[in-house]
Every structure is written in structure tokens, then in C-alpha cells.
């Protein structure tokens, strides 16, 4: 019996799973991942990092070249895709063009030999769920792209699977519709309480929708955390750079003081930072400091800031909800500052000298 069989909260387990295509491409490397029952887990990463491959192995369309995948504690190697009881949604939703919406939805149920009345009932329920009531008689080409994608979501849910996989399902939609659908899918997940494994390369989408996010890079998971932890406490330089905007400063550790390190920057000034990296707890170690633009204070360089640094304003960009200030700090390169747009009175001109300030705990010292 595997461990997953003993822990009823683990729904899906990847154990040391690898996938090699041909002789050269190692798309997934020794992947260990537990997906908990009922959670919304997102695989997030750049294109080519192995997200789809991981999902396809779970769905049964690709075979691992190493390791094992268990669902409810049982190995699924020998179970064909259509017997895994998994609902799936892809970017190219691939509805049958000559069938109506209702026929498209009924199809997975007819395959499962459900009765006519039951099928009609479920088609109607699921159309309500994706907010398309009454559209069962249309053909796909009589629907907008967003509506077609809703039908694809409905089709994945209609046989009431315990596990739903989605691979970039909103990629083809425009920004506004995509954002609306993010909340709708999240809401459907909350109502159904089934396990969702979702793939996206869009960090905002991942932060918005997920209970937990696994950040993929080159076939491995760099970090697995809830959205807030991922954003506030990225553990590696890659994660800090991939999730959200991020100012980077290079430096050398001068001293280690408990949770913090003091770091000498190229400019010669010394700043305090939170020690995160594994190899930075000795004087002389190289570090990269990560600092979110919204945590930088401008001119604020008041007594409250743990660290201050003189800078010159290079550019002020009005973005609507915030003002983006590009600064040049001597020896520290370019630093982006985001100021919330609270008043129209603020005037800040390119060329002015400012003092930047930030808290030590907002400045993460990572391995270079
Ligand atoms: P993602 O979904 O994160 O963009 P993929 O899982 O699609 O990444 O791809 C991971 C790596 O595997 C990439 O280098 C990709 O080119 C390669 N790859 C994916 N599918 C195949 C395939 N069928 N044959 C060969 N290489 C593939
Ligand atoms: Mg992909």
C-alpha cells in the first residue's frame, strides 16, 4: 500500500515522475507533488517548463518514463484516459461543430449510458452553472468564443468527475472576458468542492484562482505555496522574477544577524535584508536582493524606513490606478517604484533627486 492510500486527504500523488521525449528532451524531472482533495492547484511556469506534460500524464495521454502517479492511492498506469473519471478542458475547446450545445454536453453521458431524463436534467443544470441557460439548441458556430469556452467547461463537469484538469482554458479569450471567467471558474470550484488542477503561464491568473501554486521551471517545481506566500516570500530568484514585478540588487553579505543579513551594495552603501537563500548565511557570500516596486517608499525616506538610498527620477508614468516611477540609484541600477494613485496633487518630475526607503523585511536576500 502506498502512503497516498493511507492519507485520505491526498487525491493525486506524483512520485519521482519523469518524462523524456525521445532521447534529448527531459520535459519533467523527478516530480514529487501531492494534490490535496478538493483543492484548486495551479501549475504555473513559462512556456516549455513541463506543465502540459505533467497534466497529460495525469490525464493518461502521455506515459511517464519514470516514477508513478496515484489517484486515491491507486496507480493509474494501466487505466486508459476515458476510464480515469477525469474532466478536462483545453485551450482549443474542440466542441463537435455539427452538434448542438445540448448534444455536445449529452455526449459524455450517452457514452456512460445514462437515461434520457437524467441527461436532460444534467444538461440543464450544467448550462445554468456556466451561465448559458436556454442556449442548448445552438450550434457552436452560433456562440461567441467565450460562450464556446463555457460549454467546454460544462462538458468537463457534466459527468460529475471528482478531478478536473484545465490546460490554459482561457488563453484564447480577450482580457476582460478572461478575468471574468477566472472568477466564474473559481466560483464553480468552490461550489462543487472537487479537485482542480489548472495550468497557466499567467501569474495573475494563478494568484487570482488558486489555493496553491506550483511554480515550474525546466521540468521541476521551484516552489509550492499559497498565492500570498509565493508573492511575499519567493524562495528563489526565478520565482521572485516570475511572479510579479521585482527590483533586483546585487550585493555581498557583510554580516549575519539572526533572520537578517546586512548586505553591501556596489554603491558602497549597506542595507539590511531578510535572509531567504540557502547559501547566503556567511560573510562574503554573493546575494541578489529582491524588492517589490510597491514596497519602495519615495521621498518617504523618513525615520520609519530601515533602509534608504539616494536616487534620481528618470521617468514618471501615469498608469491610472498607480504611478510608476523609474529611478536610477547610484551603484544599484534602475529601481521601479509604484505609488498608489490616491491624489492628483502629486507632481514628480524627471530629473529630481529623491530618497528611496524600504523595510528590511520587504527586501529578500536570495541565492544569486
Ligand atoms: P508547457 O506546457 O509548460 O509549455 P510542455 O509540457 O508542453 O511545456 O513541454 C515541455 C518540454 O517538452 C518542451 O521542451 C517541449 O518542447 C517538449 N515537448 C512537449 N511535447 C513534446 C512531444 N510530443 N515531443 C517532443 N517534445 C515535446
Ligand atoms: Mg502547455
For the chain, the structural domain boundaries read 3-238, 245-366
This prediction's pTM: 0.92
Cβ of 200 closer than 6 Å to ligand 1, yes or no, is no
Q: What does the pLDDT read at residue 358?
A: 92
Is the confidence at residue 111, as pLDDT, over 50? yes
How far, in Å, is the centroid of ligand 2 from the Cα of 218? 13
Mean pLDDT over 87-109 rounds to 91
Is the confidence at residue 212, as pLDDT, over 80? yes
Q: Is 114 buried (19+), middle (13-18) or exposed (0-12) by CB count in 10 A?
A: middle
Is the confidence at residue 80, as pLDDT, over 80? yes
For the stretch 232-282, pLDDT in tens is 999 999 999 999 899 999 999 999 999 999 999 988 889 999 999 999 989
The grid cell for 210 is 488558486
Cβ of 52 closer than 6 Å to ligand 1, yes or no, is yes
For the stretch 286-299, pLDDT in tens is 999 999 999 998 86
The grid cell for 209 is 484562482
Cα 215 to Cα 225: distance, rounded to the nearest angstrom: 9
Confidence category of residue 202, pLDDT binned at 50, 70, 90: very high
Computed on alpha carbons and rounded to an integer, the radius of gyration of the chain in Å comes to 25
How far, in Å, is the centroid of ligand 1 from the Cα of 48? 6
Ligand 1 atom nearest 28 alpha carbon: 10
How far, in Å, is the centroid of ligand 2 from the Cα of 210? 18
Mutate to test the pocket of ligand 1, among 19, 25, 171 (most ligand atoms within 8 A of CB): 25
Residues 6 or more apart in contact with residue 308 via CB below 8 angstroms:
301, 355, 356, 357
Answer whether 7's CB lies under 8 Å from 15's CB: no
Is the confidence at residue 53, as pLDDT, over 70? yes
**Residue bearing the CA closest to ligand 1, atom 16:** 48
Q: Is 78 buried (19+), middle (13-18) or exposed (0-12) by CB count in 10 A?
A: exposed
Q: What does the pLDDT read at residue 68?
A: 97
In percent, how much of the chain has pLDDT > 90?
79
The grid cell for 319 is 498608469
Answer whether 253's CB lies under 8 Å from 88's CB: no
Confidence category of residue 216, pLDDT binned at 50, 70, 90: very high
Q: What does the pLDDT read at residue 97?
A: 92
CATH code for the structural domain at 3-238: 3.40.50.300
Residues 6 or more apart in contact with residue 222 via CB below 8 angstroms:
215, 216, 235, 236, 238, 239
Ligand 1 atom nearest 46 alpha carbon: 3
The grid cell for 180 is 471574468
Answer whether 331's CB lies under 8 Å from 286's CB: no
Q: What does the pLDDT read at residue 252?
A: 96
CATH architecture of 245-366: Beta Barrel (2.40)
Quote the mean pLDDT of the chain: 92
Helices (H), 99-202: 101-111, 116-129, 145-157, 175-192
Q: What does the pLDDT read at residue 309?
A: 87
Is the confidence at residue 4, as pLDDT, over 50? no
Q: What does the pLDDT read at residue 262?
A: 96
Cα 71 from chain centroid (whole Å): 23
For the stretch 309-357, pLDDT in tens is 889 999 999 898 899 999 998 777 899 999 888 765 567 889 999 899 9
Cβ of 21 closer than 6 Å to ligand 1, yes or no, is yes
In percent, how much of the chain has pLDDT > 70?
96
Is the confidence at residue 178, as pLDDT, over 70? yes
Q: In what order do the strands lie in the sheet with 86-90?
A: 86-90, 163-167, 195-200, 40-44, 212-217, 220-225
Cβ of 51 closer than 6 Å to ligand 1, yes or no, is yes
Mutate to test the pocket of ligand 1, among 14, 26, 48 (most ligand atoms within 8 A of CB): 48
Position with higher pLDDT, 110 vs 1: 110
Ligand nearest to the CA of 171: 2
For the stretch 139-173, pLDDT in tens is 999 999 899 999 999 999 999 999 999 999 998 88
CA nearest to 226, candidates 203, 204, 202, 207: 207
Position with higher pLDDT, 17 vs 82: 17
For the chain, how long is the longest CA-to-CA vector? Answer: 77
DSSP code for 159: T
Ligand 1 atom nearest 52 alpha carbon: 2
Cβ of 57 closer than 6 Å to ligand 1, yes or no, is no
Cα 86 to Cα 318: distance, rounded to the nearest angstrom: 46
Mean pLDDT over 13-26 rounds to 95
Amino acid at each position: 500500500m502506498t502512503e497516498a492510500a493511507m492519507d485520505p486527504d491526498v487525491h493525486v500523488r506524483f512520485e519521482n515522475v519523469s518524462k523524456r521525449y525521445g532521447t534529448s528532451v527531459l520535459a519533467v524531472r523527478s516530480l514529487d507533488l501531492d494534490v490535496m482533495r478538493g483543492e484548486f492547484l495551479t501549475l504555473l511556469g513559462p512556456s516549455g517548463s513541463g506543465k502540459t506534460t505533467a497534466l497529460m500524464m495525469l490525464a493518461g495521454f502521455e506515459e511517464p518514463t519514470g516514477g508513478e502517479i496515484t489517484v486515491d492511492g491507486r496507480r493509474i498506469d494501466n487505466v486508459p484516459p476515458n476510464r480515469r473519471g477525469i474532466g478536462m478542458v483545453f485551450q482549443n475547446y474542440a466542441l463537435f461543430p455539427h452538434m448542438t450545445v445540448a448534444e455536445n454536453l449529452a455526449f459524455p453521458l450517452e457514452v456512460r449510458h445514462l437515461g434520457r431524463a437524467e441527461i436532460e436534467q444534467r444538461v440543464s443544470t450544467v448550462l445554468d452553472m456556466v451561465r448559458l441557460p436556454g442556449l442548448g439548441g445552438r450550434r457552436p458556430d452560433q456562440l461567441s468564443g467565450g460562450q464556446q469556452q463555457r460549454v467546454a467547461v460544462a462538458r468537463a463537469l457534466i459527468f460529475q468527475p471528482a478531478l478536473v484538469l484545465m490546460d490554459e482554458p482561457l488563453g484564447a479569450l480577450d482580457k476582460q472576458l478572461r478575468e471574468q471567467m477566472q472568477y466564474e471558474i473559481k466560483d464553480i470550484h468552490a461550489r462543487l468542492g472537487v479537485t482542480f488542477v489548472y495550468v497557466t503561464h499567467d501569474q495573475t491568473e494563478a494568484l487570482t484562482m488558486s489555493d496553491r501554486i506550483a511554480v515550474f521551471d525546466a521540468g521541476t517545481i521551484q516552489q509550492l505555496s499559497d498565492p500570498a506566500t509565493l508573492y511575499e516570500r519567493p524562495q528563489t530568484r526565478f520565482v521572485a522574477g516570475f511572479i510579479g514585478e521585482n527590483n533586483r540588487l546585487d550585493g555581498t553579505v557583510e554580516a549575519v544577524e539572526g533572520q537578517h543579513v546586512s548586505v553591501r551594495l556596489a554603491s558602497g552603501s549597506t542595507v539590511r535584508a531578510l535572509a531567504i537563500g540557502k547559501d547566503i548565511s556567511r560573510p562574503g557570500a554573493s546575494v541578489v536582493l529582491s524588492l517589490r516596486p510597491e514596497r519602495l517608499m519615495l521621498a518617504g525616506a523618513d525615520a520609519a524606513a530601515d533602509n534608504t538610498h539616494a536616487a534620481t527620477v528618470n521617468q514618471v508614468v501615469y498608469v491610472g490606478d498607480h504611478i510608476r516611477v523609474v529611478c536610477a540609484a547610484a551603484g544599484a541600477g534602475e529601481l521601479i517604484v509604484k505609488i498608489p494613485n490616491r491624489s492628483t496633487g502629486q507632481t514628480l518630475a524627471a530629473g529630481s533627486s529623491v530618497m528611496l526607503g524600504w523595510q528590511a523585511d520587504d527586501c529578500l536576500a536570495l541565492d544569486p
